[in-house]
Structure 1
Amino acid sequence: MKEKKHSNITRYTVLAVIMVAIFATIAGRLLFLQVVKGQEYKEQSNNKSLTEIQEAAPRGKILDNKGNILATSNQSYVLIYNQTDENDKTFFPTMSKVFKILDESGESQKDDFELKINPYRFEFRSDDEETRKNLEIKFKRDRGLNDEIEKKIKSKNKNISEDDLKSLVNKELLKITPEDTFKKLIAKYKISSAYSLEDQRRYMIIKDTLKMQSYSGYKPVTVASNIKKDTAFKFLQMSNELPGIDVDTQPIRYYPNKELGSSFIGYISKISSDYDKYKEKGYDVSSDYVGQAGIEGALEDRLKGSKGGKIVKLNKNGKIVQELGTKDSYPGQTVQLTVDSTVQKAAEDALDTTMASLRANPYGQDRSDTTNATRGAAVVLDVNTGAVLAMASRPGYDPNMFAVPGMISQDLYQQYFNPDLGAFGKEYIEKRNITSNFPGETEDQVLNTLFPLDTSIKNNTTIRQDVYDIYPKPFYNYATQSLIPPGSTFKPMTAIAGLESGVINPGFCVDDTGQFDQGGKIVKFILDGPKGVVDLAKALQVSSNPYFMTVGKRIREALGDDGLAKYAWKFGLGVPVNSDVKASTGIEIPEKFGQVYNTVSNKNTYASTYLWQVMADLRDGQDDKGHKVASLNLYDNSSDSSKIKQIKNDIKTLIKNSVKDGKSAFDKAKYKELFSELVKEDPNNKKDISDEKMDDLIDVIYSITVSDANAQLKVPANIENAAIGQGLNEFTPLQMANYIATLVNGGTRYKVHLVDKYLNSNGGIIEQVKPEVIQKTGINQETVEAIKAGMGSVNEGGTAAQIFRGFPISTGGKTGTASLGNQEQIGRTDYSEYVGFAPLDKPEIAVCAVLFDGGQGGYGAATVTRDIFSAYFAETGRITTSTPTSTSTQQNSN
């Protein structure tokens, strides 16, 4: 028994010793973890101790056709702030030191924060008021200013729909002034009012960025971009004194040639629209920059590159103490363009110099006042490929201003995105004494005609519209976006249609007496004067209006009212209506696309124009003949119910159909029915209209739509006017250049393209863009040669001879002087236009140049083209130096 008892004691002793050892080990491990490693694990327990620092990818380069850099990305130093719970406690004193160092070093804080001070205002990068309004709503919603408003509305109307709630909240948000918004954010971010207003905003920028970036996960805030090397080292040396502050490198977009090619290159900017689209593609919409306009915007997916980054561990002060993993960034594709920088610069310089000369001598041409010659465009194409060698639009802008946040001053922002058209308009009116052109009206009334207040904005008293295209717009590509009447530059197209249809031959002659009989109405060309008997070549040389109106008349008689259009469509001057043909030159960047005169477009244009006249007359209760009618308002009203909107739309459709189809579509009973419904349903049109007054009302509409508008659709003058480039013909300079290229290369219309090839970051070819034929027009070589000969005579002894005299290369061209209907009254003057090609015998390039308010085509636009030819042939070695342009004024040329 004793042995058994001893054995039990021994076993218990061993077990106890083992248990003591186990607990001692556990205790020791706990002591180690809590005391020795406690601080480290405490830092790791902070969800901000491990973070991903993204590395922006360099955007791909943009090169010209010789490999010269138009846009690139340079590595630069950036100052960043890594926030932790610990360093957030010292945020304000830390940032105060940071701001002081930046100021002393001549650096700028990153500032793309749209809420400004002195004065309080929002600066959103859009020249569209509706877009700016939507951006303001988003700005306030993103920062939670809608929360309190929603609660109040819901407390009063618990059953309100989501759509109605959103609409009401948005209206209330827009009532919050910029100053009140600023004060609300000051409170939200707990920024002391003891700081100066400027410092309050500087702190706000950082706090707001932290807030916005928190939606997409934690990441450092960029405090300053593109800082100098010495400044970066200064911050690195002081890193222990500045919790959370660090220095990193980041690619910054750089455009070495500044304004050169800005119209087609574009720029990069903070994301301000299509947020969902960019989110789906992996962008951080709170901070990423994307391509805007031009190649930067159109080829964003190719240029953007692939982001990299690193996972790092931060200590409590926001300093990186360990790098746990990295992912390399990859640059975007390089885009090599077809553009020749030398020719591009010549085009831009020629436009600027010529417009400056026109402004300095505004009355140097007959019937012209070129004091507002501030806008222009020029396009140069390779006639055998459709490649763009130059595309100039003036005025331009420096895209570098957008690459680094905070570079745009308030004055420049106003000029670019929110110009004071009221002040500009008054100066414009006073300089030209335009008030005298509006008898009985005050200057303010004239201002409201030329620059009317934007009626789409409720209670608007400041935002105006430039309805007559008077104000120069740097971000508007006049080469691809502006639709203008071609004037006499269209005459070669009329010649093509005449020759190809067989209604004329090169020897067909007309006795130009300086006038033309349009069905009993004699049109006199007083400034041009009689030219005598002219054949095709001579008619082109002297720009004979009677000759080409005769050709137009013959085309109409042989082929109908769309006879001219059927040939013009082949050359890209519009597309067949109601067809599936894409209305485009093929250019990679956004463009508008103009249309040649045709019966369908003519009906639609007349229908819209006369609809507005009817609406205005009914609103005023009187037509232009002085007939009094019942006053009714057909304009859209925000308070209109869906039923009222439908009634108004039905009336408008009826008016349009009356214009298009005349008497057969004029349904008097239907008019009476719809107007009766309108005055019954619409509180804004509530009134009693007797049968007699209703009849008077409908009679006035009949007079406008059928007796006037529809009757004008059928007059022969429409195609005759179109034949000399007037009337409804409107095209972009790009379309005009391509039509000339198609003509002189023998009739092959190429897809216009800016891109030559796509390259990888090492210069290897990913994709070579090959010339693409859109259409073979099938015109006869005899037609081509006959028109080329006539266009050659324009430069040799015709309307452009004074400019091209002595030029060492034989060239061809056509001048144009296109007018607006009421240009003298509104202070504008003719478009100066020129289309040309060179060399004459074997064409290589085609050019279209346009100067808005530039006067006659034989002077301004021809001058620009000659300078472009000089640069092109000097570069290719066929002339030794750029031949200086004649500055003599060419009179009476078109």
Structure 2
Amino acid sequence: MRKNRDNLKSPEQELRIFRVRALLAAVLVFAMTGLLMGRLAYLQVVQHELYSTRSEKNRVRVEPLPPTRGLIYDRNGVLLAENRPTYNLTLVRERVDDLDATLGLLVELLELPEEEAEAFRVRSRQRQRPFQPALLMSDLDEEQIARLSVNRHLLPGVEVEAQLLRYYPDAEVMAHALGYVGRINAEELANLDTGRYAGTHFIGKTGVERFYEDQLHGQAGLRKVETNARGRVLRELGRTDPVPGQNITLTLDHGLQKLAYELLDGRRGSIVAIAPRTGEILAMVSTPGFDSNQFVTGIDVASYRALQENLDLPLYNRAIRGHYPPGSTIKPFLALAGLAEGVITPDRTINDPGFYQLPNDTRRYRNWLRWGHGRVDMERSIAVSNNTYYYALAYDLGIDRIHETMSAFGFGKRVGHDIFGESTALMPSREWKRGRFNQPWYPGETLSVGIGQGYWQVTPLQLATATAVLANRGEWVKPRLASRIGDEELPARLADTPSDIEIPHDAWWDRIFSGMEKVLTGHEGTARRTGVGLEYRMAGKSGTAQVFSLGQDQRYNAEELAERLRDHALFMAFAPTEDPQIAVSVIVENAGGGSTHAAHLARAMSDAWLLKDREPDVEELREAMADDGSQVAGN
């Protein structure tokens, strides 16, 4: 009976349970509602500014506007480096869902070699800041643009942008002097002003483009645009225009530069021409050249490997980095040093039996003419390029005074004002040899230096500069490539110009010049065939630089040597002697004697500059050099 009563429902108990449950549910609802309202209040009030900015960024985007790179002209207004319209492929990594898939699709659509896939991955990571486009490919053709347009819906974050691309009309002729621009790499990116280079994909790599990068580049601008949910631009909200780079006018003469390139005819060598009074570089050529436009758009692996493996080293700028023994071209400088130091007088003579011997030494240091030149004074020693005279002079001067006086002419130093990558070459000294080899300096090494051999090495630019200083009678000029930056002229005398060279008697300059004129016009002159028909006074000096050493009793025979073991041909000259307008240095590798090859090139350069109404006949000149090769002895 009690059991049945226990099973009956209790209304009071059920009501009590219901009230407890309802209260708990109400508390839970109110707690969740309070939490939600608190979160909404936090987002709407406390975090209002943050999320308002983020929202604005999703709708409004700031895009960089790259500046237009400055143009480069020659002295006569001929355009040497221009900007032409092109289409570039860019990618914003933050807008890409699957980077590898996107890059793979691009390689497939553009039909690129598989190796480009890795190149695309590297370039996709090279940008300056988030949402900054990375340059994947330059100079797209019409077919590539069409394929990308058709598949645009599959390529979020990928854009084809119209931009200006650097172009060099005479790429091979101007490659080493102008240099080139190329894609900004990771190392350069780490050191750049990201604001100034925002949106910029190219930077000067070598030559004028590198040295004057700050002036040529300009200042980046920006624009504020409104975009839709897909990131497409709807309208422009504001803009700060970029500041274009400054144009640069060079001292180079396009016609003379082109002539120098043609004269070298693809042989390994260099020609540098300078205006002595101003230091303006009129021509600076290194051959063989290369197509610098390939480096702007990104040279392919096969082409770059071919350039690197080419035995003629087309990428090597011989004009400023080539190291050559100066040979007999330095004899006028050495004679001047002997006069200034009181070691010789212009009329002092020696007897040349065909060799020179050091005191208490049986070794014979031979003259190039084995039976000797007999009685030789200073002027004749220059005209016939007598070695014995300069062995004796070098011994009397000593290496210390030779080093000091030759350094004053710029040998062993960087001589250019705005020449990127210039080498110092080598003007040897006791201290240098001790530091380099931990050995003392020997008298025989001084004799080698006395004829421009041994350790002494020069660059074509150094030799042309020293020739210009000589032509100026010791007044120093600093070689330069730029004459005007924007509307501003460079000063006539640069602040870093070395001190002028002074000698006791001005008449000694004339005696040196007289000997150099006889090189071309004297009946014994080593380059007398080159001087035939000269219509102005020209002073010059030939030189022959040995590539390898002969034994004491061996004779040089070019026909028996491999072509690359033959002597280098050198010549330096200036004209007119009384009022120098041009100073030239010529170096042709493995061409033999300077009097039979390089001298003709120097004469052609001077003719072209001084006799402007005449066009040198390059083919006729080549025939003359071929006929002349075995008819004039000397170095």
How do 1:414-425 residues align onto structure 2 when only pairs under 5 Å count?
414-417=305-308, 419=309
Distance 1:94 1:848 in 2: 52
Change in CA separation of 1:511 and 1:219 when aligned onto 2, cut-off 3 Å = same
Q: Secondary structure, in 3 states, of the residue corresponding to 1:533?
A: strand
Give the structure 2 partner of residue 828 of structure 1. Answer: 565
The equivalent position to 1:794 in structure 2, one of 504, 507, 519, is 519
Structure 2 unaligned segments of length 5 or more: list them: 1-39, 41-50, 551-560
Higher helix share: 1
After superposition, what is the alpha-carbon deviation per residue over 1:446-478, rounded to whole angstroms, capped at 9, x for unaligned? xxxxxxxxxxxxxxxxxxxxxxxxx33222211
The equivalent position to 1:532 in structure 2, one of 358, 374, 382, is 374
The equivalent position to 1:376 in structure 2, one of 262, 266, 269, is 269
- Asked whether 1:807 is paired with 2:534, we answer yes
Change in CA separation of 1:240 and 1:287 when aligned onto 2, cut-off 3 Å = same
Aligned-residue offset at 1:541 = 1.2
Aligned-residue offset at 1:840 = 2.7
- Asked whether 1:867 is paired with 2:604, we answer yes
Change in CA separation of 1:334 and 1:93 when aligned onto 2, cut-off 3 Å = closer
After superposition, what is the alpha-carbon deviation per residue over 1:799-828, rounded to whole angstroms, capped at 9, x for unaligned? 112233223333221110111445869962
Q: Secondary structure, in 3 states, of the residue corresponding to 1:843?
A: coil
Aligned-residue offset at 1:246 = 4.8
The equivalent position to 1:598 in structure 2, one of 417, 429, 432, is 429
Contact 1:52/1:219 (CA < 8 Å) preserved in 2? Answer: no
How do 1:24-43 residues align onto structure 2 when only pairs under 5 Å count?
none
Structure 1 letter corresponding to 2:571: Y
Change in CA separation of 1:284 and 1:554 when aligned onto 2, cut-off 3 Å = closer
Instruction: State TM-score, norm by structure 1.
Output: 0.58
Change in CA separation of 1:218 and 1:497 when aligned onto 2, cut-off 3 Å = same
Residue identity over aligned pairs, in percent, reads 27
How do 1:206-225 residues align onto structure 2 when only pairs under 5 Å count?
209-213=123-127, 216-222=129-135, 224-225=137-138
The equivalent position to 2:478 in structure 1, one of 747, 751, 756, is 751
Distance 2:446 2:120 in 1: 63
Contact 1:486/1:730 (CA < 8 Å) preserved in 2? Answer: yes
Give the structure 1 partner of residue 45 of structure 2. Answer: none
After superposition, what is the alpha-carbon deviation per residue over 1:496-547, rounded to whole angstroms, capped at 9, x for unaligned? 0122223322222222221112223222336554222222222111111112
How do 1:465-864 residues align onto structure 2 when only pairs under 5 Å count?
471-519=311-359, 520=361, 521-525=363-367, 528-556=370-398, 561-574=399-412, 584-605=415-436, 608=437, 656=438, 659=439, 710=440, 713-715=441-443, 717-759=444-486, 765-772=487-494, 773-779=497-503, 780-797=505-522, 798-822=525-549, 828-864=565-601
Q: Looking at both structures, which has the greater relative contact order when contacts are Cα pairs under 8 Å and sequence separation is at least 6?
A: 1
Aligned-residue offset at 1:282 = 3.8
After superposing the two structures, state which structure 1 stretch, 287-296 or 487-496, moved more: 287-296
Structure 2 letter corresponding to 1:345: K
How do 1:259-408 residues align onto structure 2 when only pairs under 5 Å count?
259-272=172-185, 274-275=187-188, 278-280=191-193, 282=195, 288-352=201-265, 355=267, 375-405=268-298, 408=299
The equivalent position to 2:70 in structure 1, one of 60, 63, 66, is 60
Structure 1 unaligned segments of length 5 or more: list them: 1-29, 31-40, 104-108, 110-115, 121-200, 356-374, 425-470, 576-582, 609-655, 660-709, 760-764
Q: Secondary structure, in 3 states, of the residue corresponding to 2:138?
A: strand
Contact 1:65/1:338 (CA < 8 Å) preserved in 2? Answer: yes
Q: Secondary structure, in 3 states, of the residue corresponding to 1:261?
A: helix
After superposition, what is the alpha-carbon deviation per residue over 1:702-746, rounded to whole angstroms, capped at 9, x for unaligned? xxxxxxxx4xx243x333322211222222111111111111111
Q: Secondary structure, in 3 states, of the residue corresponding to 1:801?
A: coil
Contact 1:572/1:585 (CA < 8 Å) preserved in 2? Answer: no
Structure 2 letter corresponding to 1:411: A
Distance 1:379 1:828 in 2: 24
Structure 1 letter corresponding to 2:501: T
Aligned-residue offset at 1:325 = 2.4
Give the structure 1 partner of residue 633 of structure 2. Answer: 892
Aligned-residue offset at 1:281 = 5.3
Contact 2:367/2:386 (CA < 8 Å) preserved in 1? Answer: no
Aligned-residue offset at 1:231 = 7.3
After superposition, what is the alpha-carbon deviation per residue over 1:211-250, rounded to whole angstroms, capped at 9, x for unaligned? 444x721134556533457976897798679765654321
After superposition, what is the alpha-carbon deviation per residue over 1:557-614, rounded to whole angstroms, capped at 9, x for unaligned? xxxx422233222212236xxxxxxx54434322111343433224334xx2xxxxxx
- Asked whether 1:412 is paired with 2:290, we answer no
Q: How many residues align?
A: 563
Aligned-residue offset at 1:345 = 0.9
Structure 1 letter corresponding to 2:307: Y
Give the structure 2 partner of residue 38 of structure 1. Answer: none
Distance 2:184 2:99 in 1: 31
Q: Secondary structure, in 3 states, of the residue corresponding to 2:542?
A: strand
Contact 1:381/1:389 (CA < 8 Å) preserved in 2? Answer: yes
Contact 2:123/2:136 (CA < 8 Å) preserved in 1? Answer: no
Q: Secondary structure, in 3 states, of the residue corresponding to 2:203?
A: strand
Contact 1:737/1:847 (CA < 8 Å) preserved in 2? Answer: yes
Q: Secondary structure, in 3 states, of the residue corresponding to 1:850?
A: strand
Change in CA separation of 1:793 and 1:400 when aligned onto 2, cut-off 3 Å = same
Distance 1:94 1:574 in 2: 51
Give the structure 2 partner of residue 154 of structure 1. Answer: none
Q: Secondary structure, in 3 states, of the residue corresponding to 2:88?
A: strand
Change in CA separation of 1:284 and 1:208 when aligned onto 2, cut-off 3 Å = farther
Give the structure 2 partner of residue 632 of structure 1. Answer: none
Distance 2:469 2:335 in 1: 14
Q: Secondary structure, in 3 states, of the residue corresponding to 1:734?
A: helix
Aligned-residue offset at 1:851 = 1.5
Change in CA separation of 1:235 and 1:597 when aligned onto 2, cut-off 3 Å = closer
Distance 1:262 1:553 in 2: 43
After superposition, what is the alpha-carbon deviation per residue over 1:312-354, rounded to whole angstroms, capped at 9, x for unaligned? 333344422232322212211111111111111111111125x
Distance 1:572 1:474 in 2: 27
Aligned-residue offset at 1:391 = 0.8
Change in CA separation of 1:90 and 1:856 when aligned onto 2, cut-off 3 Å = closer
Change in CA separation of 1:528 and 1:387 when aligned onto 2, cut-off 3 Å = farther
Aligned-residue offset at 1:758 = 0.5
Structure 1 letter corresponding to 2:527: A
Distance 1:211 1:599 in 2: 52
Q: Secondary structure, in 3 states, of the residue corresponding to 1:567?
A: helix
Distance 1:351 1:480 in 2: 17
Contact 1:486/1:729 (CA < 8 Å) preserved in 2? Answer: yes
Aligned-residue offset at 1:494 = 1.2
